[in-house]
Amino acid sequence: IPAFAKVNLCLQVVGRRADSYHDLRTIFQTISLHDTLEISFHRGRKDTLAIYPTFEVPKEHLAGLMGPHNLIYRALDALRRELEIQRRIHVDLVKNIPVARGLGGGSSDAAATLVGLLRLTGQRLPLARLTEIAAGLGADVPVFLLGGRALGVGRGDQIFPLPDGPRRTVVVVSPQGIAVSTREAFG
């Protein structure tokens, strides 16, 4: 399953919310840069994740990639509860999207996990319910269920698809050693 990165074509922070998030208006655009997930059942006692980064991951972000707070684990857990899946799952992740650069890599991986697990089990969910589960994982996870261009409002989790614009070439510059978490950026 490919998990595409995104850029924000514009981003307006409208104000701070009572839940510590920010109200915003943004135009998301997915781009061709992507991670790749392979999801399968396995015989282990717990879900497992193997990450193969194609770039050097800063030490402070490595624990977040592998720990139980990883959005892939959270997506597996959420869909397991929703669909009452009993079998254990293994995910191989080839990580091409740089970490903590505003490209939505973790959120995209979570959305791809939801879609991939539905395919693996052969089960279906209404898009509205799948979007609700995605929003519970992270504010921008729902946009990755649709891809393309979309308006994001509220926390960025209210998604309104927009017509595709003209095809453009985007150069993503991601200097090694520079990383800013979403929390830090909005702080």
The catalytic site residues sit at 6, 140
Taking alpha carbons only, the member of 88, 92, 91 closest to residue 43 is 88
- Within a 10 A sphere around the Cβ of 176, how many other Cβ atoms? 9
Beta-strand ranges (E) seen in 17-167 are 22-42, 48-53, 88-95, 149-154, 158-161
Closest of 179, 150, 146, 178 to residue 162, by C-alpha: 150
* CA–CA distance, 42 with 146 (Å, rounded to integer): 29
The beta strand positions in 70-134, using DSSP E, are 88-95
Return d(Cα 112, Cα 141) in angstroms, integer: 9
Residue 153: beta bridge partners? Answer: 25, 158
Instruction: Tell me if 89 sits within 8 A of 44, measured CB to CB.
Output: no
